[in-house]
């Protein structure tokens, strides 16, 4: 049965092209590199392999269409912030490595723009920056701590602390007490980026098989992708780029967990509504909520509001939570009016959800084992629009044995610790999710943090 691919998100609906699936695999084939997954991870890896190594044979195998997963459903942020907090980077890897990682992320945002320009990908790229807001006095400590970490590492000027008046001059959000402005971040139309990147891969000679499901990855001298439509043998490498859907693949069940993210989208706002809200710079907005929230101003004048409110599903499942997502979406519509009271009666045009991949230590992993002929890249914890580019560049270099400074970064040549087996995984994640909601509620109400807040923070350290 043909899926309603445009109906998966506003981005896919407005990608500007038919989402007709490419032909599936028609039988056994042999290539140099076989990639599972047609999202950003797989496409960026294929792009750099093909661009920098003419003549290399690369095939991507995708269960649905390119952009079906998080690449076509995200909030549109191309963030220069690494998935780990700067202070966590500093603590785990030292100040020098933290600085090198932050600089690499700045360059990654620029690299996404360079590729869009070079390949004529009309992804609506705009360097709009990020505003991390303190909504209420209780959130100021988190903003100040982030700025202090950037300042220690030498990035204080590029991550400026805003007082209440400065923050309010940028956007009029209820309860705003200050913020942190990071200008070196961008926004994109996610689906236009992923679909344009797929066409660039094909122009460079790559082959993409859609609606072809990978059942298993073979490793070693007989490396291959076993699919429901045939075998894709790989002379040099197989690549696991399934991100949140990777736990469905044998051998990767505990590599990461699929964490839900829900989005609601308004209809275009009126000039009067925008005059009340401000937000002329169009920065990506987020508060210091433990449950994570993010807002995007679209080029056509809508507000996208995202949150990670839906609960984790037993066994890292990605099906069967429609009722939970509907409740989360209804809550989010009310929450947006709390941010901007002028939107109390606003009309919403879209609501959708999806999953992002979270590794056990919250740090992305990029690894290539030449003996097993296996490459992996995953675990961006919601910052994949940019970090997948960094990971794809790194993995492509590792596969062909080319030296790169990226190999020194904290995500290089590592595997994340495995998540706990079920039911411990479900119990632990559900506990942390509940604790984060209780912590947000206590902070917003001006009450002391719950007695177990230190434990929840330690379990979710990022």
Token pair for 120: 């004529």
Taking Cα atoms as reference points, which of 134, 191, 214, 276 lies closest to residue 11? 191
The answer on pLDDT for 168 being more than 70 is yes
Residue 163 Ramachandran class (φ > 0 left, ψ -120 to 50 alpha, else beta): beta
* Neighbouring C-beta atoms of residue 222, cutoff 10 Å: 10
Taking the C-alpha atoms of residue 302 and residue 360, their distance in angstroms, rounded to an integer, is 35
User: Which residues lie closer than 8 Å to 20 by C-beta, 6 or more apart?
Assistant: none
Return the pLDDT at 204: 98
Q: What pTM value is reported for the model?
A: 0.96
Taking the C-alpha atoms of residue 83 and residue 85, their distance in angstroms, rounded to an integer, is 7
Return the pLDDT at 462: 52
Under 8 Å between Cβ of 28 and 231: yes
Average pLDDT over every residue of 319-324: 80
Taking the C-alpha atoms of residue 51 and residue 47, their distance in angstroms, rounded to an integer, is 6
pLDDT over 70, % of the chain: 99
Taking Cα atoms as reference points, which of 232, 240, 202, 254 lies closest to residue 426? 254
Return the pLDDT at 199: 98
Name the H helices within 361-451: 384-400, 424-445
User: Which residues lie closer than 8 Å to 175 by C-beta, 6 or more apart?
Assistant: 135, 136
Return the pLDDT at 291: 80
List 58's β-bridge partners, or say none: 33
Long-range contacts of 309-313 (CB under 8 A, 24+ apart): 309/260, 309/262, 310/260, 310/261, 310/262, 310/353, 311/260, 311/430, 311/433, 312/257, 312/259, 312/260, 312/426, 312/429, 312/430, 312/433, 313/258, 313/260
Kindly tell me the burial class for residue 98, based on how many C-beta atoms sit within 10 Å of its own C-beta (0-12, 13-18, 19 or more): buried
* Neighbouring C-beta atoms of residue 23, cutoff 10 Å: 11
* More confident position, 367 or 442: 367
Under 8 Å between Cβ of 64 and 1: no
Place of tokens 């509940």: 434
pLDDT digits (tens, 9 = 90+) for 183-227: 999 999 999 999 999 999 999 999 999 999 999 999 999 999 999
pLDDT digits (tens, 9 = 90+) for 109-137: 999 999 999 999 999 999 999 999 999 99
Return the pLDDT at 244: 95
Alpha-carbon distance values, 288 to 155, 170, 227, 244, 308 (Å) = 20, 17, 43, 24, 13
Under 8 Å between Cβ of 177 and 141: no
Name the H helices within 70-189: 86-93, 95-118, 140-152, 164-170
């Amino acid at each position: 049965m043909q899926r309603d691919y445009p109906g998966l998100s506003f981005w896919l609906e407005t990608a500007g092209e038919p989402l007709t699936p490419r032909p599936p695999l028609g039988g056994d084939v042999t290539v140099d590199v076989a990639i599972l997954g047609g999202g950003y991870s797989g496409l960026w890896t294929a792009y750099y392999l093909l661009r920098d190594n003419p003549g290399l044979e690369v095939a991507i195998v995708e269960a649905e269409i390119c952009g079906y997963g998080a690449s076509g459903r995200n909030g549109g942020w191309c963030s220069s912030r690494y998935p780990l907090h700067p202070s966590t980077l500093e603590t785990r890897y030292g100040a020098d490595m933290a600085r090198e990682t932050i600089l690499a992320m700045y360059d990654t945002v620029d690299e996404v723009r360079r590729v869009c320009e070079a390949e004529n990908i009309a992804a609506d790229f705009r360097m709009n920056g990020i505003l991390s807001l303190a909504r209420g006095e209780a959130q100021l400590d988190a903003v100040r701590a982030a700025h202090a970490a950037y300042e220690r590492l030498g990035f204080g000027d590029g991550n400026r602390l805003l007082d209440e008046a400065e923050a309010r001059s940028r956007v009029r959000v209820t309860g705003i007490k200050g913020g942190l402005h990071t200008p070196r971040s961008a926004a994109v139309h996610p689906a236009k980026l992923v679909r344009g990147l797929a066409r660039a891969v094909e122009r460079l000679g790559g082959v993409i098989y859609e609606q072809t499901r990978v059942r298993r990855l073979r490793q070693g001298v007989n490396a291959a992708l076993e699919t429901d439509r045939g075998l894709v043998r790989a002379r040099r490498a197989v690549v696991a780029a399934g991100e949140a859907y990777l736990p469905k693949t044998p051998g990767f069940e505990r590599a990461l967990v699929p964490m839900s993210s829900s989005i609601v989208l308004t209809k275009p706002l009126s000039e009067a509504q925008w005059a009340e809200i401000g937000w002329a710079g169009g920065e990506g907005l987020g508060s210091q909520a433990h449950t994570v929230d993010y807002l995007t101003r679209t080029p056509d004048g809508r507000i996208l509001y995202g949150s990670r409110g839906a609960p984790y599903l037993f066994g890292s499942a990605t099906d069967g939570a429609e009722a939970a997502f509907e409740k989360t979406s209804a809550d989010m519509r009310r929450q947006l009016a709390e941010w901007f009271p002028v939107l109390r009666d606003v009309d919403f045009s879209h609501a959708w959800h999806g999953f992002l991949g979270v590794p056990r230590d919250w740090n992305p992993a990029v690894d290539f084992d030449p003996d097993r002929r296996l490459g992996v890249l995953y675990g961006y914890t919601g910052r994949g629009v940019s970090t997948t580019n960094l990971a794809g560049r790194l993995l492509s270099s590792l596969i062909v044995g080319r030296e790169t400074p990226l190999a020194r970064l904290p995500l290089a040549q590592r595997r994340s610790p495995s998540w706990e087996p079920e039911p411990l995984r479900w119990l632990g994640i559900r506990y942390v999710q509940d604790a984060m909601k209780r912590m947000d509620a206590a902070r917003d109400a001006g009450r002391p943090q719950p007695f177990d807040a230190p434990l929840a923070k330690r379990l979710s350290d990022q």
